[in-house]
Amino acid sequence: MGSLRNKRVLLGVTGGIAAYKSAELIRCLQGDGAQVRVVMTPAATEFITPLTLQALSGNPVSLELLDTAAEAAMGHIELARWADLILIAPASANFIARLCHGEGNDLLSTVCLASHSAIAVAPAMNKHMWENSATQKNLQQLREQAVHIFGPAAGYQACGDIGEGRMEDPAALSTMASALFSTGLLSGKKVVITAGPTREALDPVRYISNHSSGKMGYALARAATEAGANTVLISGPVQLEPPERIKIIAVESAADMLSATLEEVEGADIFIAAAAVADYRPASVAEQKIKKNDDDMYIQLVKNPDIVATVAALAERPLTVGFAAETENLEHYATQKLHKKNLDLVIANDVSDATIGFNSEDNRVLLVQPGTSKALPTMNKSLLATKLIEHIAALLSSSKLKTSQS
């Protein structure tokens, strides 16, 4: 069963009497764990006020494509990157037609064109408009474009007719949205993921660490669980809410992380090394706090164990995925890491770009595997995690197929 916990839903509201149900829909989505932002078409504001939806969502409602303040920061692109799901409810016959044909003449249609996230529409219109062959042709084309169609329901309509065309009830729409995040791609598989930084002690109060927030690793753990996996998350010290339905093992140092990894990776199908493990640790740890003096201090460092390479060298190893955080020559260094450590996939990102990577809500990565590479565009880490798990699940399926044929 899917979940909207920690998911970002961009609710698009178009013109129609069913727009009043959008207020209840926001509550249902939030009740199921989603963060909600709202985009309204100009016609929608004739049926329900932006202030109402702003008060309920807790976020400003976006209205205009040509908003000077918003577009100074490319507002429509920011909204497109933010969303894990764009849910258009109600979706009028007019908007469905425009979405079908790729028009971008208002903010909502432009966001849809710019987004890599899932899109779902909840049709709401008179039954004769719903039955019209042009509407049905448009809906079929949207299905072919992987747009999800939620409903419609049948019953009494505002115009007095009775039949199909009513927008689905908000609670039902929230349940349908939740189901989109349950794929079953890794059903029955065990996935072990490392996340966050490690801390290498200098003395009882000081340590060497890095800026990793753990957000990417935690997002991957949620995405793997949504795909049906039995997920184990081995986490360094982070300030993140523990994901549900996931076994979490808290560790401090690289040695702790290696020990936990080797214990959990036995029998695993996939290992994803998303943690930013310290390459070095102090050669010795002072028993008492080191006192400041007038002289320079020199600390001898020794190399930490390489966790992902250790797993990749196991006789019966899982499909092994590494991360490469680089500041230059991204593909070159990622390819080097792939071959040197005998990995199946390296996910590389440029941490010199402050808008992505460490402590950011977004990321942009390059997927490097033997003989090929593929760039993914900038998107929020939750959506990116879903894309990465889909790619890794396909790799696992491909590797098992090759093994069975050999």
pLDDT tens string 63-116? 987 665 554 445 678 888 899 999 999 999 999 999 999 998 899 999 999 998
Q: What pLDDT does 326 receive?
A: 87
Query: What is the reported pLDDT for 18?
Result: 94
Q: Are residues 175 and 239 in the same domain?
A: no
Amino acid at 20: Y
Residues 162 and 243 both lie in one domain: no
In Å, how far from its chain's centre is CA 262? Answer: 27
Residue 223 in tokens: 């995405």
In a domain, residue 35? The reply is yes
Distance CA 3, CA 306 (A): 35
In which residue are the tokens 């961009």 written? 10
Please tell me whether residue 305 adopts helix, strand or coil conformation. coil
- Considering 28, 100, 112, 159, which one is annotated as catalytic? 159
Cβ atoms of residues 85 and 7 within 8 Å? yes
Asked if residue 394 is part of any domain, the answer here is yes
Query: ∠ at Cα 273 (224, 329), nearest 5°?
Result: 115
Q: Which helix (H) or strand (E) holds 166?
A: strand 162-166
Instruction: Say whether pLDDT at 28 is over 90.
Output: yes
Look at the chain and count its residues: 406
- Is residue 105 domain-resident? yes
Cβ-based neighbour number of residue 1 at 10 Å: 8
Give yes or no for a contact between 395 and 344, defined as CB atoms under 8 angstroms apart.
yes
Q: Tell whether 229 and 123 lie within a shared domain.
A: no
Do residue 342 and residue 385 come from a single domain? yes
Residue 80 within a domain: yes
Which residues lie below 8 Å from residue 339, measured CB to CB, with a gap of 6+? none
Are residue 166 and residue 287 in the same domain, yes or no? no
Q: Is residue 41 part of a domain?
A: yes
Among candidate residues 179, 208, 239, the one where a domain is terminated:
179
Q: What is the pTM of this model?
A: 0.82
Question: Mean pLDDT, the chain, as a whole number?
Answer: 91
Given 179, 205, 221, the domain boundary residue is 179
Q: Are residue 175 and residue 126 in the same domain, yes or no?
A: yes
Q: Which tens digits make up the pLDDT trace of 32-42? A: 999 999 999 99
Give residue 160's pLDDT: 74
Burial 169-208 (b: 16+ CB within 10 A, else e): bbebbbbbbbebbebebbeebbbbbbbbbbbbebeeeebb
**Separation CA 70–CA 68 (nearest Å):** 6
CATH number at residue 85: 3.40.50.1950
> Are 168 and 203 found together in one domain?
no
Distance separating alpha carbons of residues 42 and 201, to the nearest angstrom: 58
Same domain, 306 and 269: yes
167 and 195 assigned to the same domain: no
Q: Are residues 137 and 282 in the same domain?
A: no
- Look at residue 2 and tell me if it is in a domain: no
For every residue of 109-124, DSSP letters joined together read: HHHHHH--SEEEEEE-
- Give the pLDDT mean for 224-234: 95
Count the domains in the chain: 2
- pLDDT higher than threshold 60 for residue 207: yes
Per-residue model confidence (pLDDT) at position 137 = 97
Distance separating alpha carbons of residues 311 and 341, to the nearest angstrom? 9
Q: DSSP class of residue 62?
A: B
> CA 46, CA 19: separation in Å to the nearest integer?
9
Strand, coil or helix: 226? helix
Pairing of strands 85-91, 8-13: parallel
Residue 200 domain boundaries = 190-405
Cis peptide before 237 (omega within 30 of 0): no
- Torsion sign, CA atoms 322, 328, 331, 337: negative
For residues 244 and 172, membership in a common domain is answered with no
112 is an active site residue: no
Q: Could you check whether the bond before residue 305 is cis, i.e. omega within 30 degrees of 0?
A: no
Residues with Cβ within 8 Å of 301's Cβ and at least 6 positions away in sequence, in order, are: 280, 281, 282, 283
Show the tokens assigned to 289: 């706090």
- The torsion angles phi and psi of 394, rounded to 5 degrees, stand at -65, -40
Query: Could you give the 3-state DSSP secondary structure of residue 376?
Result: coil
pLDDT at residue 402, as a whole number: 56
Lowest mean pLDDT among 62-66, 198-202, 366-370: 62-66
Distance from C-alpha of 207 to C-alpha of 365, rounded to nearest angstrom: 29
Same domain as 245, residue 109: no
Of the residues 154, 179, 204, which one is the last residue of a structural domain? 179
CB 395 within 8 A of CB 343: no
What's the rounded mean pLDDT across residues 129-141? 95
Residue 184 lies in a domain: no
Q: d(Cα 224, Cα 230) in Å, to the nearest integer?
A: 8
86: burial class by Cβ within 10 Å (0-12, 13-18, 19+)?
A: buried
Q: Which CATH number fits the domain that encloses residue 257?
A: 3.40.50.10300
Q: Taking residues 345-368, report their average pLDDT.
A: 85
The sign of the dihedral angle between the CA atoms of 209, 213, 216, 220 is: positive
Q: Residue 53, Cβ neighbours under 10 Å: how many?
A: 26
Q: What helix, strand, coil percent values describe the chain, rounded to 5?
A: 35, 25, 40
DSSP string computed for 232-255: EEEE-S---PPPTT-EEEE--SHH
Q: Is residue 199 part of a domain?
A: yes
